């Protein structure tokens, strides 16, 4: 772990759509590295970094400018490794301080079950399934880190034990290469004969 702690870059980002397992993974990684865990959504709500509430999408619109200012201030006060959990984490952390951006992915069939179990509205379930299908989290991160693709690492959480995911994350933290583009849910669903079912589902 010393190699990671000695790095000037001491922020690890964990992003992905709801239901992919960000929080469980981020907390476990922070614990393994003896770092600090921060949930972006909780910080935004606690500090009222909210612009408004989108009734149609049933979601809060986060004030990224205020979140960014808060995190930069927090970062200056801390000298430990920080694991930042949340879809918006790539938007608020200074790139010079980021060691790795983990984009968690999950098979749409499993994601649908997880979000249903969590009590999400049908519209939100479909919105997030569509986002996962079109690699939204990955493309958002790549837009921000277009000149630093080596920092991007996708992890498939589908039916994976948390211990295996953490071991893979530790391996990637020591690597200077990016790992992304291998997960293709459209191709996977096509092989399973489920693509038409999911395309019809998100068109409703």
Task: Provide the pLDDT confidence category of residue 22 given band limits of 50, 70 and 90.
Answer: very high
Residue whose structure tokens are 């191709």: 187
The CATH number of domain 2-107+137-182, selected from 1.10.645.10, 3.30.1700.10, 3.40.50.2000, 3.40.50.300: 3.40.50.300
CA 135 to each of CA 74, 91, 142, 146, 182: distance values in angstroms, whole numbers, following the listed order: 30, 17, 11, 15, 11
Closest to 33 (Cα-Cα) out of 68, 3, 62, 58: 3
Q: What would the pLDDT profile of 105-149 be if each residue is shown by its tens digit? A: 999 999 999 999 999 999 999 999 999 999 999 999 999 999 999
Q: Under a CB-based contact definition with an 8 Å cutoff, are residues 101 and 15 in contact?
A: yes
Q: What would the pLDDT profile of 25-70 be if each residue is shown by its tens digit? A: 999 999 999 999 999 999 999 999 999 988 878 788 999 999 999 9
Burial class (CB in 10 A: 0-12, 13-18, 19+), 81: buried
Q: Under a CB-based contact definition with an 8 Å cutoff, are residues 19 and 114 in contact?
A: yes
pTM over 0.85: yes
DSSP at 135: T
Residues 6+ apart with CB under 8 A from 159: 110
């Amino acid at each position: 772990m010393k190699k990671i702690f000695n790095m000037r870059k001491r922020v690890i980002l964990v992003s992905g759509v709801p239901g992919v397992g960000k929080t469980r993974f981020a907390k476990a990684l922070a614990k393994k590295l003896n770092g600090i865990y921060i949930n972006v959504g909780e910080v935004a709500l606690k500090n009222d970094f909210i612009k408004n509430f989108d009734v149609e999408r049933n979601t809060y619109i986060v004030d990224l400018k205020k979140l960014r200012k808060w995190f930069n201030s927090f970062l200056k006060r801390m000298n430990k490794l920080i694991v930042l959990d949340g879809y918006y984490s790539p938007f608020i952390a200074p790139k010079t301080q980021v060691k790795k951006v983990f984009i968690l992915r999950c098979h749409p069939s499993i994601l649908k079950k997880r979000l249903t179990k969590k009590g999400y509205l049908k519209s939100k379930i479909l919105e997030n399934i569509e986002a996962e299908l079109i690699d939204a989290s990955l493309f958002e991160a790549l837009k921000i880190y277009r000149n630093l693709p080596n920092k991007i690492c996708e992890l498939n959480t589908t039916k994976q034990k948390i211990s295996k995911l953490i071991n893979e994350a530790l391996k990637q933290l020591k690597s200077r290469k990016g790992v992304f583009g291998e997960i293709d849910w459209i191709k996977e669903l096509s092989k399973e004969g489920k693509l038409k079912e999911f395309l019809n589902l998100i068109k409703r």
